[in-house]
Chain A
Amino acid sequence: MTMPLGHIIILPIVLPLFVGAVLLLFRDQNKVAKAVATGATMAALIVVSIVLLFLTGAGADNGWLGVYLLGNWSPIFGIVLVADRTAAVMLTLTSVLGAAAMIFASARWNGAGPHFHSLFLFLIVGVNGAFLTGDLFNLFVFFEIMLAASYGLLLHASTVAKVRSGLHYIAINLVASFIFLIGVSLIYGVTGTLNMAELAMRAPEIADADRMLFEVGAAVLGTAFLIKAGMWPLCFWLPSAYSAAVSPVAAIFAILSKVGIYVVWRMSLLIFGLETGPSAGLAQNWLLIGGLVTLVFGSVGVLASQSLARLTSYAVIVSSGTMLVSIGIGGVEVAAGAFYYMVGSTLALAALFMLVELIERGRMAGADVLAVTMEAFGFEDEDALPDEEEVGIPIPGKLALLGISFIACALLIAGMPPFSGFIAKFAILTGIIGINAGETGVPIAGADWVAVALLIISGLAVLIAMLRGGINTFWATREDMTPTIGVVEIVPITMLIGACLALTIFAGPAMGYFEAAAAELHNPVAYVDGVVSSTWVPYPGRGALP
């Protein structure tokens, strides 16, 4: 790393780690000071990730590739961190999401259990590390940091429901970690390296006798990530865990499933990309099929959900399914659209998780169940007849704000105009249709048509489910409606929706960036060369080591 700004790559990991560790030393009663410290860290992380965004985006075709050699070892022996456009986008997404969730939590949730802020920052460490790391074993380590923090956060403000779903969540993720290790060790046994760039170089040269073992290793590894990403049939833990967590935690969990997606994406393109010979495109069909089934499962789940929190959890699965379908189909155009979709939908899902808590606050328990069962069994609302004397009712300002945010989230997640969700889905669909028919004149494959249909239908399902939930929530005749909401709780939601709005307004430049990132992912030569050719810095006055 020659440029002095290069050290910025390590900051997204070191900064929250350090602050989180220091905060452990102070008593939990200093809630305000801790919240301020965490908020400042998240703000700094936003700045750092935006700087990285500009750094990696600079240059026309091949942007700046940040390679950071930890401990100044050469990349063959040591551990590397790699920052490219994709990583920069994911880091920015994480820090914006983290900041919003942190602001939201500072209203009340950070006091509901011990060491909320430290756990939160450690989660950020794990997520950022997983995005930046350049070798498989550290991916495991950062995954475990992320998961350990997420266990603590899921159990935050323990209730029976949280402990019950937490038990399943931990057991499943522990098994997933073991599967991860089996995959890593199989790959190491065959190739003798864990560095992802070197792995990409060696993958085409594997002897035929060992190739099967290598592919099995990669498939086992992929299974571990797909458990986190929530691909059907590995996603049954997800709805209960996400809907049991307190809302700011659920909001930040929205990024966890995207970490799984990100790793599958990067690994499949890096190691099984175009130039890797016999193993190229391994399991891409399985990702497509899995994604399609996940879409169906998520859509059915969304429609069947009887509470808004559960509905949002199933929307996370729909979002994962859309991403998996896009990865399975492949192609730079589809990937660019999928990227755009991932950023927009993650922000919107997080906003919705927080919004749901505000909406549910002050509602009578079981109102959602009643609303759905009333519809299903055709029960009439008892006081459905309008009161003749009342001409219009005053709409409380807070409720209007909640309603508008809810509509914005619904449109974003379902992929309806005018928000970024629509542009993203449109980009994915044109990518799929154009990929075969446009240039080559080859008819579009049947699976692609199924994908197109399911992508549209899943959007419709989300829209129907959210409309129903919204009508039953906001148009219901209830006296005790106006919930008590602090400013710090509505600000992060508007912040996230505002980010989506900005993504819509600046769709041109954003899409350009995502296209460049997708092209970079699909052509990993620059990545591999950048990592392998990076050299350690000579020590001042000592020259080369012996």
Chain B
Amino acid sequence: MECCKNKVPWYKKLASTLLGTGNCHGEVNQNTHGLEKIALVGSPNVGKSVIFNRLTGVYVTVSNYPGTTVEVSRGKGIIGGVQYEIIDTPGMYSLMCITEEEKVTKDLLFREKPKALLHVIDAKNISRMLPLTIQMIEAGSPVILVLNIMDEAERMGLKIDVEGLQRELGIPVISTVAALNKGLDELKERVDEYVKSA
């Protein structure tokens, strides 16, 4: 993210001001100083960036392969009438990381204290992705589990008892199909509830 903050050469700043664009390889960095934070985390290619786009109205690059996001993006989003700093992160599989872009996310988790941590998972691979949820519960983070890509999971014949999962984990669980804009309103409502009750 430093490539967006300090190291932009003057001529690029000039050009991006003239053309009214942000640059830096599909990453976004709005001025979010002083706002409470809500971070999106999870394995690669589960739709964190799509949800980021929906929550902030800012476009960051979205693709159908793991590793599209390699830097943290920050944007403003309004949830329940309050403005938050929404943070999109590179995917990571575990708190023990292997690659450099996973480390970016971990650094963020170790340094910043988001009001809510949305753990986005691919509902099809729920059993492979829940260990990270558990790690974050262990860490005492304010986790909310987002079961994304529910449409594909249903097409595969998977039925997930969202209520039951919520009881077992003891954290809010919401199912979404972010690419089709389904479940986003509920997500916002639940985040609002969660943050205000905390």
Indicate whether A and B interact. no
Residues of chain A touching chain B, judged by Cβ–Cβ distance below 8 Å, are none
Give B contacts to A, CB under 8 Å.
none
